[in-house]
Amino acid sequence: MELHPENVKSIKVIEGKNKTIISFEESNIFLSFNGKMRDELLNGEIFDTMAEAMVLIEGWRAYYNTVRPHSSLEYRPPAPEARVVDISLQMA
């Protein structure tokens, strides 16, 4: 049997001892994210320590969620970083 969306009702994802059921469409979102993370971060880095990996991955995650343009959002970032403007300087 070929794997087509109409043949798949749900996919079980096991996380530790808890079981979570996600839809086929949701699994495509995870696969897309994982592919981008591998292409943009993991394939270009060699982590020497777990601490280094955590710092670099967190930096990439913040970039992905705030700065990086997403095609599904018409190439805008999903949550642009807030810009703080000191209005006291402008009023002087």
Residue 91 lies in a domain: no
Both 73 and 47 in one domain: the answer is yes
The pLDDT tens digits of the residues spanning 52-71 come to 999 999 999 888 888 888 88
- What distances in angstroms separate CA 23 from CA 6, 20, 37, 90, one per listed residue? 11, 10, 21, 51
Both 24 and 56 in one domain: the answer is no
Whole-structure pTM value: 0.55
**Structural domain boundaries enclosing 57:** 41-81
Residue 69 lies in a domain: yes
- Three-state DSSP class for residue 92: coil
Percent share of the chain, pLDDT over 70:
58
The domain total for the chain is 2
Residue 86 lies in a domain: no
